[in-house]
Amino acid sequence: MTQLSVNINKIATLRNARGENRPNLLETALDCERFGAQGITVHPRPDERHITRADVLTLRPMLHTEFNIEGYPSPEFIELVLRVKPEQVTLVPDAPDAITSSAGWNVNANMEFLTEVVDKLRDAGIRSSIFVDADPEQVIAAAKCGADRVELYTKPYADMFPSNPDAAVEPYVEASRQAKRCGLGCNAGHDLNLDNLAFFAQRVPHLSEVSIGHALICDALYLGLEETIKRYRAALK
């Protein structure tokens, strides 16, 4: 079954709004695990507007499931993940001031840079995933870099899903099949929610993991965190 990794950035955003420690990020992460999440994702940004460097260091020894750290591979980010050694690092091409991810890597144009980063992660025993659009050529390029997985950027799917779900999902089906042919694992994330997740998971083969934050936390405001995670897990079955 596809694994659910809960991105807790929005919990940190809410906490930071008051400058205190409510909600408690660590307690929330542990609750997510207790309620059935199979991983925890964080995306520390240089301005620390949500997840901070201290959060990453605090979470690492306390989590019981997979820890996935997303980010642009700046020297500071690489230093942090090599120190923390999460199970997975997802490399994203975001500018420092980006609100959220808006596209995957042009892997061919950044082949030398990404290969060097992936090599460092492998030497440290960390699984690498490269964030890409649902383009088989980008998947092939990620394999050439030596990455272990790709994460498919799913906003285009989410945008098209209400009007034409079959057309929306088709590029992801092919990209996932290409990943399998290249020996890569396949993750996915961005704007997946309770409306579109089950269809995506049913149609996309070889899907190892989805990382979901914003929509899941929004649902939890109405449903509660435990019930929300239960429903997302059910959508992945």
Q: Report the catalytic residues.
A: 43, 70, 190
Structural element, H or E, at residue 82:
helix 75-84
Q: Can you spell out the DSSP letters for 151-217?
A: EEE-HHHHHHTTT-HHHHHHHHHHHHHHHHHHT-EEEEESS--TTTHHHHHHHSTTEEEEEE-HHHH
Structural element, H or E, at residue 20:
none
φ, ψ for residue 12, nearest 5 deg: -65, -35
Separation of alpha carbons 108 and 92, rounded Å: 14
Structural contact between residues 204 and 154, judged by C-beta atoms closer than 8 angstroms: no
Separation of alpha carbons 88 and 211, rounded Å: 12
**HSE (CB half, 13 Å, CA atoms) of 38?**
13
Question: Within 10 A of 1 (CB to CB), how many other CB atoms are there?
Answer: 9
